[in-house]
Structure 1
Amino acid sequence: MPELSWTLPVARWSFWSSASEIPPDVAFVDPMMRRRLSSLSRMALKVAGDCVDAQTRMRVVFASRHGELRRTTDILRDIEAGKPVSPTAFSLSVLNAMSGLFGIARHDRSAATAVSAGAETLGYALLEAHAQRSDEPAGPILIVYADEPADARYGAIEQEVQRGALALLLDAGEAAQGQLACSVMPDAHAHQHGPKFATQSEALHHCLSTGECAAWDGNGGTWQWSWHAGTA
């Protein structure tokens, strides 16, 4: 794994935890569409909605290790039982279903990218957003990460995710609240700053909510995040 480091200007961010007793509020979504949302899409759309206004058009980077795997698993169970497959359920079972629903709800046809990279999914979504900003600096980018553990029938999964969602709106200038510094280093070169966490989402949430450094150990490399308030 090569050593990489980059910074992202964060204007807003939002987090939703499965520990919350209040269901995700997605009132901005049309009621007809709202009834079709999975638990994953509800979480994702809730944090995404927290970070944007109705008028601004923006690119989206959606990240999820398992995506709509629960919906896909239900479809496979129906096939196994000889039941007909719902066309709606099938169309919403793809990884990037949330980004499509988000664009439809906002009438926004801006580009959307979906990222899935195992336990390192969130980290590579941040890197993808940085690459897009480097290629085309103008305009905000919304990063949305949402995940939930896979069904038990898939067996034990190494470095399994926690259920939850996180969104960051990247925008430079006066809109930025601060700079998120990201890095990934081979184990031999890693110097730990701050506590380590079991998942990338826990580490990043800790960094954003406390302003402290946080780290996560992957296969062959250590990811680290730090927060610097104010614009660059």
Structure 2
Amino acid sequence: MLDLRWTIPVARWSSWPDGATATPDIAFVEPLVRRRLSALSKMALRVAHDCAADHDVVRLVFASRHGELRRTTGMLEDLVANQPVSPTAFSLSVLNAMAGVYSILRRDTSPATAISAGAETLGYALLEAYAQYRADPGTPVLVVYADEPADDRYGPVDDEVPAGALGILLDRGARAQLECAAGPALAADLTPSFATQGEAVRHGLSARAGAMWQGLGRRWHWSLREGGTA
């Protein structure tokens, strides 16, 4: 039995492919800001724009396992080389950097939450979004998940994620619902599952079929169904 079940309305979703080497088109961001953004923030802003460009007000749940780790690594390299750390790099190195940039670009002062929970980051982000939506169904909630693998210098990372991004807009009137569930893990040889939560959720959204990920003693399951709202 799965211990926890919830359903979120999916009004729109967008994905930047895992492992893609192309640079996302973010022409909607002014050039001065665009030049300062990392690959992670560009992916995140691309899917966020795809999902919510026509919404003036939207709450944001931003999720990333590693966040701006590459930028942080660059600052550490500067320190080792006795070079000054860029104030801009420092200000954009925090986990919620993309959330701040997004709210400034949109001039939207709605609440924003940043989540990092290891290999289960996306699952908990969807749970947080559900809780926020249930508390106030009248205001859309945008989930943006973006990640890229840690530098090899950090050593092996269990359940490592590839580079990629996913955006999901929760809004009243959505014609599809994503059913989410979490509970104790099953025996690995009995339950085929996706390598990452991102792969599983994308499969559930695009294939209209159930998709599972399990690890750390838990399993997560997602499936999309048409009709109605949560």
- Band the TM-score falls in, shorter-chain normalisation: over 0.9
- 1:210 paired with 2:197, answer no
Tell me the alpha carbon deviations over residues 171-225 of structure 1, each in whole angstroms, 9 at most, x when there is no partner.
Answer: 022xx130000000112699x88x5100000000111111111000121111000
Query: 2:228 maps to what in 1?
Result: 231
1:120 alignment partner, SS class: helix
When residues 6 and 23 of structure 1 are mapped into structure 2, their CA distance, relative to the original with a 3 A threshold, is same
2:125 alignment partner, SS class: helix
What's the CA shift for 1:53? 2.4
When residues 78 and 220 of structure 1 are mapped into structure 2, their CA distance, relative to the original with a 3 A threshold, is same
User: Which whole-Å CA distance do the structure 2 matches of 1:15 and 1:91 have between them?
Assistant: 27
User: Which whole-Å CA distance do the structure 1 matches of 2:135 and 2:164 have between them?
Assistant: 30
User: Which whole-Å CA distance do the structure 1 matches of 2:108 and 2:198 have between them?
Assistant: 27
- 1:200 paired with 2:197, answer yes
Query: 1:26 maps to what in 2?
Result: 26
Q: CA RMSD in A?
A: 1.8
Letter in 1 for 2:132: Q
5 Å-filtered alignment, 1:43-192, equals 43-173=43-173, 176-187=174-185
1:162 alignment partner, SS class: coil
When residues 162 and 19 of structure 1 are mapped into structure 2, their CA distance, relative to the original with a 3 A threshold, is closer
1:127 alignment partner, SS class: helix
Q: Is the 8 A contact 1:17 1:164 kept in 2?
A: yes
Q: Is the 8 A contact 1:148 1:161 kept in 2?
A: yes
- Report percent identity of matched pairs: 59
Gaps of 5+ in 2: none
Letter in 1 for 2:207: T
Letter in 1 for 2:218: G
Gaps of 5+ in 1: none
What's the CA shift for 1:30? 1.2
- 1:39 paired with 2:36, answer no
Q: What number of residue pairs does the alignment pair up?
A: 227
Query: 1:220 maps to what in 2?
Result: 217
User: Which whole-Å CA distance do the structure 2 matches of 1:150 and 1:20 have between them?
Assistant: 16
The TM-score normalised by the length of structure 1 is 0.93
Tell me the alpha carbon deviations over residues 21-61 of structure 1, each in whole angstroms, 9 at most, x when there is no partner.
Answer: 64201111111100000000000000000001245201000
User: Which whole-Å CA distance do the structure 1 matches of 2:147 and 2:19 have between them?
Assistant: 14
Tell me the alpha carbon deviations over residues 123-177 of structure 1, each in whole angstroms, 9 at most, x when there is no partner.
Answer: 000000011112222210000000000011110010001110000000022xx13
The TM-score normalised by the length of structure 2 is 0.94
What's the CA shift for 1:229? 1.1
Q: Is the 8 A contact 1:54 1:106 kept in 2?
A: no
